[in-house]
Chains A and B, each alone.
Chain A
C-alpha cells in the first residue's frame, strides 16, 4: 500500500480499479455523491444553482439528468469512487460517444453531454476525458455484434443501434408452451444490434451497478423536507405507482 499525497497521487488516472484521481484545474462535472476525498481548494455546486450554470451550460445539455450531476470547481486533487464499481477513463478526441446515463461518472466540460435518442443513454460530443463506472471490467467489440441490453455500456462512432428480436426462439414449441405458462422471459430473445463502423463497449456482468446513489441522496435530503412537502411527495409517488 502506498502512502498517497497530492504529489504522489496519479494524475487523471486510476488509483486502483475502484478509485480514480482527478486533477481538477478549473471545472469538472461529477455525478452527485461520488466524491471520496479531496486535497486542495474545491467547491461543489449543484447544476442549476448559480452562476456555474453559465460556465457549464455549453457542456451540459441533458436536462433529464441535471439533478444527478454537480460541478466541482477550483483547484485540487479529487478522488472519486462509485460504490466499489469498476472505473474506467476514456480520452475522447472529436468523438461521438454514447453511454448509459447511470454509468456516466464524470467528464471534463470541454465535452458536451446531450440526451441520446435511445432512452436512458446520453451522448458526449467533442474532445476531453470522461469516466464511466461499470459492473465488472469493460470489453470493446466491433460491429457487427449483438449485445444483451443489460450488458451494454455504450458505443462510439456507430450508427444508432436497433433492437433485434429472436423470433426463432419465441416460435419454438418449447417456448410456446412456456409462454402460455408465463415463463417466456429467458431475457435472451431481445438483443441490441450494431452494424457499421465503430466501437461497442460492454461490461462483463449483466448486473446493474451496485448501490442506488440517487435514492440514497434523496433519502438523505428528506430531513430537510417539511410536513406539507412530504405530503406532496407522497401524493406524487402514489400517482406514479398507480400509473405503472
Chain B
C-alpha cells in the first residue's frame, strides 16, 4: 500500500516501493525523486465498463498513473489535502475533489437517483453538480482536496445533519440523503431565506464539508 505523508496543508508526499500503482489527478504532480514512470490512466484501476460509464456521465476522473520506486509530491492550486481512511466503506465524492488513491481503492460512478429516489435527482440539480457522483471503495487511504480545512461531521441515529449543497464535499457510511426544504408559504411567495434547500443526512456515517461555497 502506498504511504502518504502530509508535508504541509497543501502538499502531500507519496512513497512508492515499485510494485504498486498510484492514481493521481492529472497535472497535480509537483516533483519526484527516484525512478518513477508516469502515464495517462484511462481505466484508473477500474474496469473498462466503469471507465466508459465515467466518460459518458461526465464524472471523468482525469488521472495519471505513477509506478516505480521513489517519492512523489502532489498538490493542486493551493487547495488543502486531506487523507481519509476507508475500512471497506464507500466514499461518495465529487470527481474534482479526488487528488490521489492507489490500487487498493476501486473507483466507480453512482447515479444519485438511486440514492434517495427523487431526492437524489433534486440534489444534483440544486447543487449544480450533475446527477452522478464518484465513489471510492476499498481498504486503504485516499487523498481528497478541499478549499480551506475539511470539516468532518459525525452523523448517527439521534443526530441527523443538514448541509448546504454548495458546501458539501462528500460522505461515507450508511447514510440516506434527502432534500430538506424549509419553504413555508410565506417564504415561497415572498422573500426566500436563502437557505431553502438542504441535504439531510440520516443514518450512521460521516459527512465532509468545506467553508467555501463554490
Contacts and interface: CB of A to CB of B under 8 A. Distances in A.
28 contacts: A1-B149, A3-B152, A4-B153, A5-B154, A5-B159, A8-B154, A15-B149, A16-B151, A19-B148, A32-B193, A32-B194, A33-B195, A36-B163, A36-B164, A36-B210, A36-B211, A39-B161, A44-B182, A44-B193, A44-B194, A46-B190, A46-B192, A49-B190, A49-B191, A79-B209, A81-B210, A213-B213, A217-B194
A211 B164 CA distance: 16
A37 B167 contact: yes
Main secondary structure of the interface of A (DSSP, over half): mixed
B149 A19 contact: yes
A145 to B, nearest CB: 31
Interface in A192-215: 211, 213
B151 A43 contact: no
Given A49-B190, A70-B193, A70-B194, A36 B213 contact: yes
Contacts of A83: 211-213
Nearest to A217: B194
A3 B148 CA distance: 16
Contact of A39 (B151, B159, B191, B192): B159
A33 B194 CA distance: 5
A161 B163 CA distance: 41
Contact of A46 (B151, B164, B187, B206): B187
B147 interface: yes
A211 B147 CA distance: 13
A148 interface: no
Contacts of A45: 184, 187, 193
Interface of A: 1-6, 8, 15-19, 32-39, 42-50, 67, 70, 79, 81-84, 211, 213, 217, 221, 224
Interface string B78-95: 000010000000000000
A135 B213 CA distance: 15
Interface residues of B, number: 36
A242 B71 CA distance: 60
A44 B198 CA distance: 11
Contacts of B147: 84
Contacts of B194: 32-33, 44, 46, 70, 217
Contacts of A17: 148-149
A37 B209 contact: yes
Given A4-B154, A44-B194, A213-B213, 7 more contacts: A1-B82, A4-B153, A15-B149, A33-B213, A79-B209, A81-B213, A83-B213
B154 A84 contact: no
Contacts of A81: 148, 167, 210-213
B148 A4 contact: no
Contacts of A224: 192
Given A32-B194, A37-B207, A83-B212, A49 B186 contact: yes
A21 to B, nearest CB: 9
Interface in B124-169: 147-154, 156, 159-164, 167
Contact of A18 (B153, B160, B193, B211): B211
A36 B167 contact: yes
